[in-house]
Structure 1
Amino acid sequence: MPAIDMPIHELQAYSGINPRPVDFDAYWERALNEMRQVDAAIELVPSEFQTPAAECFDLYFTGVRGARIHVKYARPRGAEQPHPAVVQFHGYTANAGDWADKLSLVSLGYSVFAMDCRGQGGYSEDAGSVKGNTHNGHIIRGLDDHPDQLLFRHIFLDCAQLAGIALNSTEVDPAHVYAMGGSQGGALTIACAALEPRVSKLAPVFPFLSDYRRVWEMDLDRDAYAELRTFFRHFDPQHEREEEIFTKLGYIDIQFLANRIEGEVLMGVGLMDTICPPSTQFAAYNKITAAKRLEIYPDFGHEGLPGFNDKVIRFFLGTY
């Protein structure tokens, strides 16, 4: 079989090479404390899009640093009892997507909360200002500022805050709040469930934002990770700060959050993925200590994985 990464037996034992900051846990406890102090000021605005089966809203809440975050929220029309909910996260630079792709879950009795990441392709704000480069990438935004200014810190907190909003909604059964997403959405699914461990099931697909130094050493700092090369070329052309830079990126490396997950995990990976290399995904998956299952697609890359979405539905329903 062709390969772009390690053999499968090495992937199954791989633990990542990006440095982990020594104060990583304190960093995230400080971040969560900041999030808990925020007045979310939740606002629900009925959407023009409605169906006989789904009641649809634009939901807004205030995240850390004052940004207003937009969410597409669809719930079963007329549901009288608390029911399960799914929080959804989109790919890098994209948005929450069409209402239509939420309706299959709504038809099964789930509420769906699909978040626009701040500063990307939807309606959420990027309200923060940082020192240093802000061009061509969110991974490097804040990298020359204090670590508390990293943009993905704020986005990870938005995800956890949204899960908390779902968990505290009177119409939602808090024992059945799930998370899902692919690529950046897969990374945010892992971060969400790590920072809000009451998420009881999660289904990440080929997660992004993991093991940055491995991406660099594989010479795959292009496509979704191209901003790493941009940053070095402009701000550290001789790599004199390489250890410092990768260590700071460690604060927003999902592999180091993965062991906080308590929910059950179903993850999909394609072994021909050149966008988010398989080893970087295994670095995160191998650190998950909760119940987990990995669906491996040997001949697929960063693309649709046939049958995986059906497995996710069955996983959420408890039949897989």
Structure 2
Amino acid sequence: MNSATSYADTETPLRSHHGQFRPEDFDSFWLDTLAEADRHPLDLRLEPVESPLRTIDVFDLTFAGFGGEPVKGWLRLPRARGAKLQAIVEYVGYGSGRGHHIDNLLWSSAGYAHLTMDTRGQGSSHSIGHTPDPHGSGPSVPGFATRGIAGPGEYYYRRVITDAVRAVAAVRTLECVDASRVAPFGASQGGGIALAVAGLVEGLSAVVAKVPCLSNFPLGISLAESGPYTEIAAWLRIHAEEEAEALHTLSYFDAVNFVERATAPALFSAALKDMVCPAPTVYSAHDAYAGEKSLNLWKYSGHEGGGVGEDHQVLGFLEAKMATSSDRSSG
């Protein structure tokens, strides 16, 4: 039976940061980026969705993300609700979009307000998306990981991570949500985005990063056999003379650098047979995480992680940490 193993009880090879570094202006870069975004009103819009669902209300949500550009999402709420709800903001995996409104019902069924953020420009590989990315880039490998890689100001994930921070701000404005009890959540690309949000947003209740990507880019480029890290390796094969500049750009978007400032309790997972987001890249983010943290290691899994069993563990983690988050923030 595939099972999770405590990180503390498991030997963890290749835990070296393998060339990962933090630029001196990392904090000012993100302060300026988010200040620029804040000049745009959130312009939050909710449209009820006609649905055959009987226990969940769904809203087509739109908010202003990077550059004031509209970003879509699904907001799912338990139909029976009294007190203000704890909220999960979910970021989806690479190539995916927000999907259909009847997808992904676990978290709202468990009683949470659940916002699934669309990822700009994606949403045609695994699930449908509805948010364009109206920005061009220089030469890039097919995919998203090398778009704008020549400089941090133009890099694709600058826009996506800004959208993700704004998604938390949007859900916190909802009357039905307890703004002090919000948790970012994601797997793969979504897990890396959740870790970035954990380092940029104050007052979060918990963070869940399942087999996260966007962590220790240099190590991921050297170890991964499929997925977005391999796109970067392919780009570097053609643009070898630009390696230093590309790695400098990526350092502004590396989860390892965000989580040094993160304080919310975090649950990580990694899988030893994961060739998309190899386990050693996850160890790097886990080791650097400044707050309370735990890591479940799936010994026999690939990028799927722990599947339904892992979801069950996440539900328990969120129930414990979200329930006590107000006490922590007031203590």
What is the TM-score when the length of structure 2 is the normalising length? 0.86
How many percent identity over aligned positions? 28
Matching residue within 136, 156, 176 for 1:129:
136
Aligned residue for 2:77, secondary structure, equals strand
Q: Which residue of 2 aligns with 1:3?
A: none
1:141 is displaced (CA, Å) by: 1.0
Aligned residue for 1:169, secondary structure, equals coil
Q: Which amino acid aligns with 2:131?
A: S
Matching residue within 142, 152, 157 for 2:148:
142
Q: Which residue of 2 aligns with 1:202?
A: 207
The correspondence of residues 240-279 of structure 1 with structure 2, limited to 5 A, is: 240-279=241-280
Matched, 1:169 2:174: yes
Distance 2:106 2:278 in 1: 30
Q: Which residue of 2 aligns with 1:4?
A: none
Q: Which residue of 1 aligns with 2:301?
A: 300
The correspondence of residues 230-245 of structure 1 with structure 2, limited to 5 A, is: 230-234=234-238, 236=239, 239-245=240-246
Aligned residue for 1:123, secondary structure, equals coil
The answer to whether the 8 Å contact 1:87/1:163 transfers is yes
Distance 1:183 1:14 in 2: 21
Are residues 270 and 40 of structure 1, via their aligned partners in 2, closer, same or farther at CA, if it must alter by over 3 Å?
same
Report which stretch shifted further, 195-204 or 222-231.
222-231
Distance 1:292 1:310 in 2: 18
Distance 1:98 1:64 in 2: 24
Q: Which amino acid aligns with 1:34?
A: E
Q: Deviations over 1:186-237 (max 9, x none)?
A: 111111222113221111111111112112333x364332321332244x2x
Are residues 213 and 304 of structure 1, via their aligned partners in 2, closer, same or farther at CA, if it must alter by over 3 Å?
closer
1:38 is displaced (CA, Å) by: 1.6
Distance 2:253 2:77 in 1: 32
Q: What are structure 1's unaligned runs of at least 5 residues?
A: 1-6
Distance 1:14 1:135 in 2: 28
What is the TM-score when the length of structure 1 is the normalising length? 0.89
CA RMSD of aligned residues (A): 2.2
Matched, 1:154 2:188: no
Q: Which amino acid aligns with 2:291?
A: A
Q: Which residue of 2 aligns with 1:310?
A: 312
1:97 is displaced (CA, Å) by: 3.1
1:302 is displaced (CA, Å) by: 0.7
The answer to whether the 8 Å contact 1:118/1:125 transfers is yes
Q: Which residue of 2 aligns with 1:192?
A: 197
Q: Which residue of 1 aligns with 2:60?
A: 58
